[in-house]
Amino acid sequence: MFFEKKFPPWMDTLPPDTMLYHAKMAQVNDESIHRVPKWANTSEDLEYYRYVVEHIESVRLVWEKFWRNIDKNHNTLDFWIQDCEFFTIRGLIYSHDISKFGHEEWNGYRQWFYPGGGTEDKDMFARAWNHHQKSNPHHWQYWLMFEDGKTIALEMPFEYVIEMLCDWTAMSVKFKNLPSNWFAENRGEMLLYESTVSIIERWLPIFDEVYGLINKEV
Ligand SMILES: [Zn+2]
């Protein structure tokens, strides 16, 4: 058992409109969602916890803006619903990055981003990041296969590409860099199957719009 059932005392002070509050409520109703790891007891743990939840909250916001935007301005939502893709992607979005709450990833990330006086351990971070990308199909690295002495990229299913674009756009909003700019800057570092590139190029302009919509509000 890696999780504690009780909540840390600071969670009781949360206003009811924050996602952390809902995470807490979800914890009451469903032990499998957003449980606060039992090792999240130092101030650095709590800072990192808030950082992860803020990211998850941002990915959900991007998704909500994205599908409403294509429904309103691009008239393509019917296609999604007919293909059940809408609900498949929604399911992925609402469980995005949950593995970060597990013991395989928590300490490796936490000590790297919030060392709090301790020294950062690069190998420990590498193991956490490796676990993350190998257990989350929304990372293009998940779709790499080592075969006959070389690494090849496999085709990435549509729903995971959209989840990946929601993830990228959330980070774009945080670092104030248009998603298509970010992709152009980082494309050279990525190994992607051709159809994956086509899906990215097809949808990235819509995510640029979403980026604009969210930036207008903040
Ligand atoms: Zn991820």
Any domain includes 6: no
Q: How far apart are CA 68 and CA 59, in angstroms?
A: 14
- Per the structure, the count of domains in the chain is 1
Residue 195 gets the label, from left (phi > 0), alpha (psi -120 to 50) or beta, of: alpha
In our burial notation (b when 16+ CB lie closer than 10 A, e otherwise), range 108-126 reads bbbbbebeeeeeeeeeebe
The rounded Å distance from CA 57 to ligand 1 centre is: 13
Q: Supply the range of the domain harboring residue 35.
A: 19-217
Residue-wise pLDDT tens digits, 48-82: 988 998 999 899 999 989 988 887 777 776 666 65
Q: Residue 2: its pLDDT value, please?
A: 38
Q: How far apart are CA 147 and CA 199, in angstroms?
A: 25
The rounded Å distance from CA 64 to ligand 1 centre is: 18
pLDDT band at 16 (very low <50, low <70, confident <90, very high): low
The rounded Å distance from CA 52 to ligand 1 centre is: 10
Any domain includes 7: no
The rounded Å distance from CA 97 to ligand 1 centre is: 5
Any domain includes 5: no
The rounded Å distance from CA 162 to ligand 1 centre is: 13
